Structure 1
Amino acid sequence: PVIIVAYSGGYMPAAYSLALGGAAGRIRGVILLDALYGEEEKFANWIEGARSRAFFVSAYSNSSHDGNLALRARLRRDGVPVEEGMPDGLRPGVVAFIDAGDVSHDDFVNVAWTSDPLRDLLSRMGR
């Protein structure tokens, strides 16, 4: 199984990997860390097609707020259940958006809602 994690401009290769990468059946989750600056359509299409086998979490600061609002609105319009805030667990079907508030983009991977936010998220897998 594969978990894609992207920070900042890493949204671009993540989006294209989901859309064109050929490993769709192996991807079990996507974690975006202040990384949704575009390609919302690619992420939405993947989420809508992969919900039964994968999770999607986007944690963001003010820096990528608008992209997260756009994707969340698109998913809701399409009838995809969306969680706002930290999910209890990361399992297939979870689609969550975490507003970390006024956190520095430069420090997001190291200190967002907690120190080592990626470790916090990965520890929730399988719960």
Structure 2
Amino acid sequence: MIEPIKIDGLASFTRNLRRLDAELPKTLRVAMNDAAQVVVDWAHPRVPRRSGRAARSLRVASTGKAVRVRAGGKRVPYFAWLDFGGRVGRGRSVSRPYRKQGRYLWAGYAAKSDEVRRRTERALLDAAKSAGVEVD
């Protein structure tokens, strides 16, 4: 399984950006959302549709410390079953082949990991440059 991107020192980097300019962490978060949107754009057309709720539930969720791709929720509790498979229903009668790496989110991240990494790196570099920090 492909490993998620973890950035050591992101919290302190964001904190230091905030000291320089209060708006810089927000622009960094928006740029990181753009990197995660690559996975959403890859997965969205591949999610099966009956009502369209599962596909519409794909979204980017971020805080100052993390960016995630989320899907499902109260209105779409079956998204995990769509993505990973398993058995559900009365007497576990409905079956979908199990895939440990998933069909949509992790598969999209695996397929687009190079672009996600590139955009993440670009977002960090742009934030540092806009703060006036010289980056090699």
TM norm structure 1: 0.26
Larger of the two Rg values belongs to structure: 2
| Higher normalized helix content (fraction of residues) | 2
Bigger strand fraction: 1
Q: Normalization by structure 2: what TM-score?
A: 0.25
**Which structure ranks higher in relative contact order (CA pairs < 8 Å, sequence separation ≥ 6)?**
2
